[in-house]
């Protein structure tokens, strides 16, 4: 199975409607004869730019027939406001808690900003670890993220 055929199958499945979890996506791919592990699906979700909503995974709005303007992907501030629940500092690290299943799309949105304070992110299911250059950079980034929560 090629990545291209797996990505196409995921797009086709999501055109029907949202898929509530990675496990369900894995089951539906299996029914089509495509096997993919959790790490592969996580990578596919990131590469396809899928959005995790309350209903489940969705295609980016621009793939749903929208134009690039009003239906562009959500802004980082919207992603933070909707999914981040807290941000805590630990020296040069920020531990950012999100709603369950939202850490990866939020981390991708944060990475997409290319903020100078952030060296990189690691996302789990509901937690993002943001590595900053130093303690002051972590403080500045924490303030920026907390400002989006207000």
Topology of the domain comprising 76-149: Gyrase A; domain 2 (3.30.1360)
- Percent of all residues in the chain with a pLDDT value above 70, rounded to a whole number: 90
- Cut 0.75: pTM above it: no
pLDDT per residue over 85-137, tens digit each?
A: 999 999 999 999 999 888 988 998 898 888 999 999 999 999 999 999 999 99
* Whether residue 144 has pLDDT greater than 90: yes
pLDDT of residue 74: 66
φ, ψ of residue 74 to 5 degrees: the values are: -60, 145
Cα–Cα nearest to 77, from 1, 2, 148: 148
In the chain, domain spans: 3-64, 76-149
Cα–Cα nearest to 19, from 56, 61, 59, 63: 56
CATH of domain 3-64: 1.10.10.10
18-39: average pLDDT: 91
Is residue 6 within 8 A of residue 44, CB to CB? The reply is yes
Q: Which strands, in side-by-side order, build the sheet including 127-132?
A: 84-90, 93-98, 127-132, 118-123
């Amino acid at each position: 199975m090629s990545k291209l055929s797996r990505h196409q199958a995921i797009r086709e499945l999501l055109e029907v409607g949202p898929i509530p979890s990675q496990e369900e996506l894995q089951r539906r791919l299996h029914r089509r004869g495509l096997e993919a592990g959790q790490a592969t699906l996580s990578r596919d979700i990131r590469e396809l730019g899928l959005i995790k909503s309350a209903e489940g995974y969705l295609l980016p709005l621009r793939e749903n027939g929208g134009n690039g303007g009003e239906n562009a992907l959500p802004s980082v501030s919207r992603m933070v406001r909707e999914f981040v629940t807290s941000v805590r500092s630990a020296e040069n690290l920020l531990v950012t808690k999100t709603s369950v299943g939202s850490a990866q799309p939020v981390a991708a949105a944060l990475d997409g900003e290319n903020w100078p304070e952030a060296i990189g992110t690691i996302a789990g299911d509901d937690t993002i670890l943001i590595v900053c250059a130093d303690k002051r950079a972590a403080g500045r980034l924490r303030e920026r993220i907390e400002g989006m929560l207000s």
